[in-house]
Every structure is written in structure tokens, then in C-alpha cells.
Structure 1
């Protein structure tokens, strides 16, 4: 009995030592954004912005015009934004977007729904990972959801291809509004970078 307890304690101690010795997720020593462009029915330079974190782990896009509603013409039911950016990082590294967090507001009546979708790809490479989130009515509240991309596509090693992101917000049914356009609450998408040495 005492021998079994000792073995358990030793095994737990070894696991703790291994965990302590495991390095944190790798990332390059310096990363910067050379430029970002975006445009579409849901974003413009006058109502949208982005913030890149100092630790090179996230980039947040804030959209003031990404509001889809059933109250209006057909074009109001779907809003989209196309983003392209040049990420500068050292040779010997590769990156991908691992997950995205969507934050906003929805007012969706029973029998209706609101959807936001986002996908990305690297210029000159194949593969377009995507995520989609659907809110069905009745739903009236702020929301925040984190989703993992369905597939993994990494930038080519020793190359810095442009990162392209397309985001869409749309509504269906008799009454629905997806996101909120105001001075204090705007639709946000937070993208999380994963890095690896190659």
C-alpha cells in the first residue's frame, strides 16, 4: 500500500517537472504589420479600425458598419468586409489563424436567424479555413463566441504572403438585426495567431 502511494507521488512529481520544462508556444522575436487594407459593404476607413497586440498573438478588427438587418432593402440583409494585410516576420517561421472570437449584439425574432462567417487564406496558397456562428430567435442580447477554424493552413516557410480575411454578417427571416452600430458597442472579430518554427 505504501509502495503504491509512493509511486503515485513520484509519478505526479515527474509530470509536474515535465510540465514545468515544456516551453511556451513559440513565436518569432519580432512581428509587425506593414499595411492593412479593407473595404466592403460592412467596413470603411471612416467606421472601422484594427489593433494588433504587442505580444504578436492577436489582431482585433472593430467594424462600425457591419450591421445586417431585415429592416430595409435586400442589400441590408448582408454586410461583408474584405481585409488584406502584410505581416512582417523573420525567416524560419510560419503562422496561421487558429481561432476567432466574435463580439456583438443580436436582436433576432422567433423563426428568424442571424449569421456571421469568417474565412482566411494566404495569397498564392491553397486552402480557405472558415468558421460560422448562427443565432436563432428568439434572441436579444450581446454575444461573444470563440470558434476554431475548421482546417489548418500555414503560411509558407521563409515567405511572407499577404493574409486575406473575409467576414460576412447576414440575417434571414421576418425580423432580425445582427451586430450593433453605435459609438460604444461595435461588432468585433479577434483573430488569434499561432506560430511555429519551420
Structure 2
């Protein structure tokens, strides 16, 4: 009987921890986004912040890497920088990235897309990488965890910087909207009270 009580208490603590991690601020906005790189620009790249503030999705129209052509054709990249605004008392991180698109990868070839992020004025960079081996022709969707988490400082909504690189040999096109899509999954946590 005592053993069952202990297990129930542990289950309740785990459930409470999951609920605490699922909380988000009451309002989050992205003020502006800037783009740099040969895989994105203001004409072919769009973004959407989810209504629950848990994800931001980027759709790239120019993120198509090929095995032939110049070095710029083999390696596409996009540096995105955006300002986030959210209430004091919160810290944000990116825990996962979901890549979605279409690949045409020949036999004995490999495509890599990787993403790094950091907060302006803070130390630490997080990275995630996905390798797709050929032969493969078709749509793909992968969700990967960042190897480490970098959290924004408490009570400070800094500029978030994300760099994505695709190299070589993938035609990264989403079958639905003709764009490579990356979805970044935010983690939110409340800061300790002073």
C-alpha cells in the first residue's frame, strides 16, 4: 500500500512538471525579421508564429542545393535575425527543429542541412544537423533535438539569430507550397522570482 502511494506521488510530480513546461507567456510578438544569404530573401521567404507561441515556421523559396554548378549552387544558406517581444519573467529557447521538403538525392550521395541559433549579446550557440543519404526521391519530414539548449536571459527579450545551411544535392521543395520549410519549436520557462 505504501509503495502505491509513492508511485502515485511520483506520477503527480511528473504531471505537474510537464504542465509547468507547457506554459507560455500571455503574448509574444516578432517585431521584424531580416534575411541574409543565397537561400533566402524578402521575396521568397515567409514566416509564421503559431497562435500558441510554441513554434515559428520559415518557408524558403531559394533553399535549393544541387550537386552540379558553382559552389553557391551546392551550398545554400540563410541567416535570419528577429526581435521577439514577450513579458518579463520569461526565458525562451529552441528545443527542436522540424525540416520538411522534397529531396532528389542520388545513390552514394548525402545531403546535410544544419541550423545554429544564438541570442545577440549572450554567449552560447546551439546546433542541430540532419543527414539524408541517397538514393531518395520524395517528400521528407524530420524532427531533431538541438544538441544543447541556449536560453535567453531572464527579463530580457533579445534578438534571436538563426543560420540554416543546406549542402549539396537536395532539391528542398515542399510538395504543398514549393518551399523548404523549417519549424522551430520554442521552449518557455518562467524565471525565478527575486
Q: Same fold (TM over 0.5)?
A: yes
Deviating more after overlay: 70-79 vs 117-126: 70-79
Residue 194 of structure 1: which of 184, 187, 192 is its match?
Answer: 187
- In the alignment, which residue of structure 2 is the partner of 1:143? 140
In structure 2, how many angstroms separate the alpha carbons of the residues matched to 1:18 and 1:182? 43
Which secondary structure state, in structure 2, belongs to the residue aligned with residue 76 of structure 1?
helix
* Equivalent residue number for residue 149 of structure 2: 152
CA contact (8 A) 1:65 1:181 kept: no
1:77-92 counterparts in 2 under 5 A? 77-92=74-89
Aligned residue pairs total 189
Query: Does residue 105 of the first structure (1) align with residue 102 of the second (2)?
Result: yes
Matches within 5 A, 1:175-190: 176-180=169-173, 184-190=177-183
Pair 35,18 (structure 1): closer, same or farther in 2 beyond 3 Å:
same
Alignment of 1:9-158 (within 5 A): 23-24=19-20, 25-158=22-155
1:120 to partner: Cα distance: 0.2
Q: Superposition RMSD on alpha carbons, in Å?
A: 2.0
Specify every segment of 5 or more residues in structure 1 that has no aligned partner in the other structure, as ranges: 1-5
CA contact (8 A) 1:67 1:181 kept: no
Larger radius of gyration: 1
Distance 1:181 1:53, change over 3 A: closer
Distance 2:75 2:16 in 1: 49
Q: What is the rounded CA distance, in whole Å, between the counterparts of 1:168 and 1:48 in structure 2?
A: 15
* 8 A Cα contact 1:58 1:193, kept in partner: yes
Distance 1:151 1:16 in 2: 27
- TM-score (normalizing by structure 2): 0.88
Is the alpha carbon distance of 1:98 and 1:72 closer, same or farther for their aligned partners in structure 2, counting shifts above 3 Å?
same
- Aligned equivalents of 1:129 and 1:140: distance in 2? 30
